[in-house]
Amino acid sequence: MEQEQDSQIKVKVSDLTQYLICPRLVYFSARGHEQQGIAKGKERIESILLKELAFNLHTIRGMKDDEEDVKRVIEGIVDGVEWIYKEELKGVEKNFFEAVKTDFIRSQSMNVDEWLRKIRNENGLLKLEKTHGYEREHTMVSGKLGMSGSVDKLIRAGEEVIPCMIKTGKCPEYSVWKSDRVQLAAYAMLIEEEFGTTVKRGFVEYIRTAEFRESQIRRRDKALALQILKRVKRIKGGVFPEKGENAPCDNCVFEEMCETKKTLLSKLFSRR
């Protein structure tokens, strides 16, 4: 019975990532509360703009070292954002969006030298992208796992299928963050089911600082992804979870809701 109920609960790979930030985010989002991510306002729009730059590295790489040229290309990419991300930008005031965009273009053009140097430097991922191209936001659904996901870039290099994620946050000193390894492992499992192959590696593009990191897909990351998948299903099924160890409550849109729920629960238990 429990298994039957579990198979009806649909989980996205992004739910796993959310769980790793704080399990309660999964709970509130599953209950239909709007979740604009932990980042709010300016930070969120900047993330979208940066992500779009990452999808256009091939264009940016080809431009000349002319400040005006750089500005023009970045402007062109940024201008497309409001059409591509219409749903995500719903409710954002036009003037505010324009101000963030202008600020972004200015700062990107000013700090672009080091960034450009890095994206022109042929590293493993950029070489693969140049040779094989990539499919943007490839969506996969696994009935067996009860999980779906849309990987930012999917590279098909002959027999090899490689997932690649774009991250707009801070880059770790070495390798990739643990949450990124788990997310890559989840995509790897979806790819393996769809393409009937074994995924040995994935990449994370930390686009803010133009760091491109390769990560091996390890058994223990897959095991952790599966464990989290089960927990997410339980939360979506109605279980109110403990807050995450490093839950970023100060920046959370659910802060108030979370407090109320906690108080209600403690009252309920104290009556017993």
| Residues at the site binding ligand SF4, with contacts judged by CB under 6 A | 22, 24-25, 28, 243, 247-249, 252, 254-255, 258
Of the two residues 21 and 84, which places its CB atom closer to ligand SF4 in the complex?
Answer: 21
At 246, phi and psi to the nearest 5?
Answer: -115, 40
Minimum separation from the CB atom of position 69 to ligand SF4 (A)? 43
Minimum separation from the CB atom of position 182 to ligand SF4 (A)? 18
Q: How far apart are CA 249 and CA 103, in angstroms?
A: 28
Minimum separation from the CB atom of position 13 to ligand SF4 (A)? 19
List, in sequence order, every beta strand (DSSP E) within the chain.
11-12, 135-142, 147-157, 160-167, 201-206, 211-216
Minimum separation from the CB atom of position 238 to ligand SF4 (A)? 16
Of the two residues 105 and 258, which places its CB atom closer to ligand SF4 in the complex?
Answer: 258
Of the two residues 2 and 256, which places its CB atom closer to ligand SF4 in the complex?
Answer: 256
The token duo for 3 is 């298994």
Q: What angle do CA 54, 56, 62 make, to 5 degrees?
A: 120
Which one, of 153, 160, 157, 159, lies nearest residue 138 by Cα?
Answer: 153
Of the two residues 209 and 251, which places its CB atom closer to ligand SF4 in the complex?
Answer: 251
Instruction: Give the bridge partners for 138, in sequence order.
Output: 151
Strand-pair category, 135-142 with 147-157 = antiparallel
Q: How far apart are CA 12 and CA 147, in angstroms?
A: 5
Of the two residues 25 and 189, which places its CB atom closer to ligand SF4 in the complex?
Answer: 25
Minimum separation from the CB atom of position 186 to ligand SF4 (A)? 21
